[in-house]
Structure 1
Amino acid sequence: MSERLSEAFLARALAVAHVAADAAEAVTRPRYRAQDFSVVTKADLTPVTEADREAEATIKRVLRAQFPHHAYYGEEEGREGEGDFVWLIDPIDGTKAFVRGYPMFSTQIALMHAGELVLGVSAAGEYGERAWATRGGGAFLDGQPIHVGTNDTFGPHTAISTGNLKSLASSPPRWNALADLARRVGRIRGYGDFLHYHLLARGAIDLVIESDLNILDIAPLVVIVREAGGVFTDLEGADIGLDTRSALAGPPALHALALAAFSLERSV
């Protein structure tokens, strides 16, 4: 069955993604509040709980009921199916937070079409926020339109958030670039996971720098930041794809300045 990527299709897909996020939160919320789960360490040394698996299965049931011919790529169950439309699912992004009992975790649902991310829902129910966007439709946080900030220079009023810095720390050129940026801005924070992208998309911080990630961590957030007027690439300036391992996101001018800083260190 062929489907056409259109405004009407994206509106329908977004509505279904919201239903899927609601259903996932109905699974995770009682487990989180009761801290009722067992924890297993996966081969990559990250934790997983039965809530992760149950939530992913729930999301897929909702999506498949409406889009049975689409492909799916989930954090816990991997790739299933082939085709131009691929749903990317991280049922609990921030499982470490979930396990330790603080609310910086979310359900991440995105849709990719022919290699392009076109829809994203970032649902952080315990934190109390939900952001979403579709290609060409703008970005929203709890129903209100959002936009990245207008800061176009590094200075005392610039705020950067970082995440997953392990691989940056092991790469002297990248680490030096980050140190240079830290000297040029007013504030460095590490909000992490969904939160710093939500803050970026509504103009509360100016730049996000991350490493040691995968596409499922950021897929919906890419759409949200871009539709909020930002630029989202990896630290090399490459477009975001299934093999992405790092992130650089911000308003166009600051993104360009940061990318130049990382490029300069690579060339030294």
Structure 2
Amino acid sequence: MASFAKELLIAQLAVQRATLLTKRVFNETAKGAVDKSDKSPVTIGDFGAQALIISALHANFPDDEIVAEEESSLLREKASLRDQIWEFVRGVKLSDDEAEATIGGGIKSEEDMLKYIDMGASKGGRQGRIWCIDPIDGTKGFLRGGQYAVCLGLMVDGDVKVGVLGCPNLPVDDTAPLTADIASGHGVLFSAVKGQGATSRPLGDGSLAEGKAISMRPLTDMSKASFCESVEAGHSAHGDQAAISEKLGITAPSVRMDSQAKYASIARGAGDVYLRLPVSATYQEKIWDHAAGYLIVKEAGGEVTDANGKALDFGIGRTLAENKGVVAAPASVHGEVIRVVKEVLAKKAAA
């Protein structure tokens, strides 16, 4: 079985370097943001982080395809924004020269930067090696100083093999209680390789810090469980999730946070269940919003399926077109959670 040791190392260093850029953008631009055509906020950090990650991937794995969220057309139209992003990109590197040399992927000019951003246009699929990137997952969380994640996953023939999450505002302590206002300047780098377990380590600015294995919390009493959900009601059906929580006997209020930091939090035992139920019959989840977190939870002893208990299929394209919603929980109770999810959703459909 392939070890994916090089892929893991490059992915960890690439995500760590990208988080340096996102933190600098937050601190220095007063949360500068622009609007995409769909009016969702996009930060300077999205474009800069994507360029940095893709440059590292292309330098080390030039034949691999890449699925990424952003493309450069907006930057080609807005020279001032492009120049601002370039200033951040050119100024970011790891403090450890050996780590910087290992990752490679230098960006030499603004045009070079745009070229890398546009390498993320793969349509995905079930064949070959395909990386997927969300340069800043949880843009609104990023803008408000809350939770966000820099996300990178590798799929081989549609199967997620490597997952890395950089969560700059999660506390390093894996045992820290999970609360909606949890925030820390330290940050955590989570990673997993299929069949090799999941780890967490403090985010740094140079070589990788020492990592430690993480696992989901043993859960035998659902009344003592906690569950995470998205902050935005447009992303997840809060009412349905509240009904499911009640039926499961969960007494603690939900913890709402942005991004795949939710996956990371339950993977290390700070929470137990992550519910993301569809708010629209036509909405399709994007693979970059789930691939890395999905693998990290699975390797930490969890199960992740859609709301019907169906395995997530990352091999269709850029979306999880055949899946509706996401349910993540410890493997020992996942079946019980799915049973209640189905019951609540069926009752709603019949109403």
- Shared fold (TM-score greater than 0.5)? yes
Normalised to the residue count of structure 1, the TM-score between the two structures is 0.87
**Residue number in structure 1 paired with 2:251:** 186
Whether the aligned pair in 2 keeps the contact of 1:177 and 1:261 (CA below 8 Å) is no
Whether the aligned pair in 2 keeps the contact of 1:165 and 1:211 (CA below 8 Å) is no
Whether the aligned pair in 1 keeps the contact of 2:141 and 2:258 (CA below 8 Å) is no
Matched, 1:202 2:237: no
**Distance in 1 between the 2:128 and 2:267 partners?**
28
Alignment of 1:74-223 (within 5 A): 74-77=68-71, 78-80=120-122, 83-100=127-144, 102-127=145-170, 128-142=187-201, 143-155=211-223, 157-163=224-230, 164-166=232-234, 169=237, 175-176=239-240, 178-182=242-246, 184-187=249-252, 188-211=254-277, 213-223=285-295
For residues 88-120 of structure 1, what are the alpha-carbon distances to aligned partners after superposition, in whole Å with 9 as ceiling and x for unaligned? 1011111112222x1411210000111111110
Whether the aligned pair in 2 keeps the contact of 1:37 and 1:51 (CA below 8 Å) is no
Paired residue type of 1:114? D
Whether the aligned pair in 2 keeps the contact of 1:161 and 1:192 (CA below 8 Å) is no
**Residue number in structure 1 paired with 2:52:** 58
The offset of 1:232, in angstroms, is: 0.7
- Give the SS at the match of 2:14: helix
- Give the SS at the match of 1:193: coil
- Give the SS at the match of 2:165: strand
Unaligned runs of 5+ in 1: none
Whether the aligned pair in 1 keeps the contact of 2:22 and 2:49 (CA below 8 Å) is yes
Whether the aligned pair in 2 keeps the contact of 1:161 and 1:191 (CA below 8 Å) is yes
**Distance in 1 between the 2:152 and 2:324 partners?**
18
For residues 168-204 of structure 1, what are the alpha-carbon distances to aligned partners after superposition, in whole Å with 9 as ceiling and x for unaligned? 54xxxx9456414235112122133233222211122
**Residue number in structure 2 paired with 1:40:** 34
**Residue number in structure 2 paired with 1:247:** 326
Paired residue type of 1:90? D
Between Structure 1 and Structure 2, which shows a larger proportion of strand residues?
1
Whether the aligned pair in 1 keeps the contact of 2:215 and 2:268 (CA below 8 Å) is yes
**Residue number in structure 2 paired with 1:261:** 340
Unaligned runs of 5+ in 2: 72-119, 171-186, 202-210, 279-284
**Residue number in structure 2 paired with 1:23:** 17
| Distance change (3 Å), C-alpha of 1:18 and 1:176 | closer
**Distance in 1 between the 2:151 and 2:324 partners?**
17
**Paired-residue identity, %:** 27
- Give the SS at the match of 1:166: coil
Paired residue type of 1:136? G
**Residue number in structure 1 paired with 2:176:** none
- Give the SS at the match of 1:131: strand
**Distance in 2 between the 1:227 and 1:84 partners?**
22
Normalised to the residue count of structure 2, the TM-score between the two structures is 0.67
**Distance in 2 between the 1:49 and 1:176 partners?**
31
The offset of 1:41, in angstroms, is: 2.0
| Distance change (3 Å), C-alpha of 1:236 and 1:165 | farther
RMSD of equivalent CA atoms: 2.2
Paired residue type of 1:87? W
**Distance in 2 between the 1:139 and 1:186 partners?**
29
**Distance in 2 between the 1:61 and 1:79 partners?**
14
Q: How many residues align?
A: 256
For residues 35-63 of structure 1, what are the alpha-carbon distances to aligned partners after superposition, in whole Å with 9 as ceiling and x for unaligned? 35642222333211222111101100000
Whether the aligned pair in 1 keeps the contact of 2:16 and 2:189 (CA below 8 Å) is no
For residues 184-237 of structure 1, what are the alpha-carbon distances to aligned partners after superposition, in whole Å with 9 as ceiling and x for unaligned? 112122133233222211122111101465321221011100000100112122
Give the structure with higher Rg (CA). 2
